[in-house]
A = this chain, B = another copy of it.
Amino acid sequence: MFLQIKLTIPNCTCLKDPQETKLGVLIMQNSIELIDEIGFEAFTFKKLAQKINSTEASVYRYFENKHQLLMFLYAWYWGKIEYQIHVETLHLEGTEEKLFKAIKMLIEKKNANDIYTFVDELKLKRIIEHEGIKSILNKKVDDVNKNGAFDNYKNLVAKLGGWIQEIIPNYPYSKMLVTTIVEGAHIQHFFADHLPRLTDKQNDNDYVQNFFLELLKILITQNNKNGQSN
């Protein structure tokens, strides 16, 4: 169709793939706009439908409810960033170099080399940071997880976890380390904007990245030493 990229999305995150139709793309674009603007709690399908001159009933043909829409955007984001990480680490030589590049991309607010898609990348990233975890933290998580709703995220974590395993083979917490950095960075970005006393905001805008990259570096160094001495 008219899209630059089309991502594979777990089909339990929508009733019908919105990437396939004009109205679907409108829903994606404008739900990102609207959720970023008014927040996920105040967001309703009625408001979205009004924004795109459509009807509630039409939106409900794509998504069972707004929570499913959030899961879709979440899966779409992880699919997209995994693809980007793939592209931008392909030419890199060492695994460590690849890992650091990937972590940087996950933490930074806006990727300079962002591939063009039909949505506002900055707003989507902000939604992932501020609202993304809500797609996971609820009572339906086991049901949708069985149907693969979070596979895109899991794949990325497995990939980066694998790289960590390569670099520090005896380290038993590779996936925890990835998710701690990723989720931690999201929360720290939110804290920086709204609760600065829960973080260490500095003039330097990259302090969140620096904190996590330094942490990762120290862990790798230290664990490699231990590995050799054992």
Contact = CB atoms under 8 A, between A and B. Distances in A.
Interface of A: 38-42, 130-131, 133-134, 136-139, 141-142, 145, 150, 153-154, 157-158, 172-177, 179-180, 183-184, 187-188, 190-191, 194-195, 197-200, 202, 207-208, 211, 214-215, 218-219, 221-222
B175 A199 contact: yes
| Main secondary structure on A side of the interface with B | helix
Nearest to A183: B187
B200 A173 contact: yes
Contacts of A214: 173
A197 B154 contact: yes
Nearest to A67: B41
Contact of A183 (B130, B173, B184, B211): B184
Contacts of A176: 188, 199-200, 208, 211
11 contacts: A39-B139, A133-B133, A133-B187, A136-B190, A157-B198, A172-B200, A173-B211, A175-B199, A179-B198, A179-B199, A180-B184
Nearest to A157: B198
Given A133-B133, A218-B219, A198 B139 contact: no
Contacts of A141: 194-195
B136 A137 contact: no
